[in-house]
Structure 1
Amino acid sequence: MFAKRLKQMRKKRKLTMQEVADSLGVAKSTYAGYESGYRQPTIESIQTISRILRTSADYLLGLTDYPEPPAELNHNAKEYLNVEQLHWDGVPLEKSDLDLIRSLLERMIRDRALANKDDSPSN
């Protein structure tokens, strides 16, 4: 899968093998070996290749099917839980599961806010 996706992304970015090889600092034959599956790049090379091709290493390695890396990571759990296809360790989460998780988190935040309000010194 790596070799296929590597070639696909290079062509999508309209780069030649020589251009990618030069940016990577390897011979064209070495890079061609990556695209043919004959050679395996190091982890560091995979990271560099993903930057050159403006994709994620996870996509190249087949760990995700999304070739475009996220523009910015969103760490807001409320927004993240609105994603339709979440899973927990490979087990898909149903809408009812996500609704329960959201409800529990909202309750936890409300309780924390009340506890903080009760702990604050009186004026």
Structure 2
Amino acid sequence: MTVGERLKTLRLKKRLTLREVASKIGLAKSSYASYEGGYRNPPIDKLIALAQLYQVSTDYILNLTNVPDSVESLQKQQLNWDGKVLSKKELEIVHQVVELMTEKQQENIKGNLRHMDIG
């Protein structure tokens, strides 16, 4: 599936017209139609706007993944790994690992700042 095909599928799924999508992301209808037609690829700012509009990741639009999850899904305490939703227990483990990594990073930053203190 091409980027244009993915965009068209997402638009039709949301039951939006070309004009509606173009308006929502600040484009002329013909410009957006060129994305779906495969004549042009959206620039980064429009790619982000489309991902937000369709509530999917930019990777999904770009066909780098077939998992349409957006960043919002992470905020809903849902995380996928290779297309499989992680269980609550697995999420707790991931959360603990991230906390440990963050704490270690903060310790390293504080240590570097103390080392740089000339006073």
Please, what TM-score do these two structures have when normalized by structure 1?
A: 0.58
- The gaps in structure 2 that reach 5 residues or longer are 84-92, 94-99, 101-119
SS at the partner of 2:74? coil
Equivalents in 2 of 1:47, 1:7: separation in Å? Answer: 16
Q: Which one has a larger percent helix, Structure 1 or Structure 2?
A: 2
Give the letter for the 1:71 counterpart: S
State the match for 1:40 in structure 2.
41
State the match for 2:68 in structure 1.
67
Give the letter for the 2:56 counterpart: T
State the match for 2:54 in structure 1.
53
Tell me the matched-pair count: 83
State the match for 1:95 in structure 2.
none
Please, what TM-score do these two structures have when normalized by structure 2?
A: 0.59
Cα gap change, 1:11 to 1:68, in 2 (>3 Å): farther
- The gaps in structure 1 that reach 5 residues or longer are 87-101, 103-108, 110-123
Shift of 1:67: 1.9
Shift of 1:73: 5.5
The structure whose Rg is larger is: 1
Write out per-residue CA displacement over residues 40-73 of structure 1, whole angstroms, 9 at most, x where no aligned residue: 2111110111111111110010111012326126
Work out the percentage of aligned pairs sharing the same amino acid. 37
Equivalents in 1 of 2:68, 2:9: separation in Å? Answer: 10
Give the letter for the 1:61 counterpart: L
State the match for 1:8 in structure 2.
9
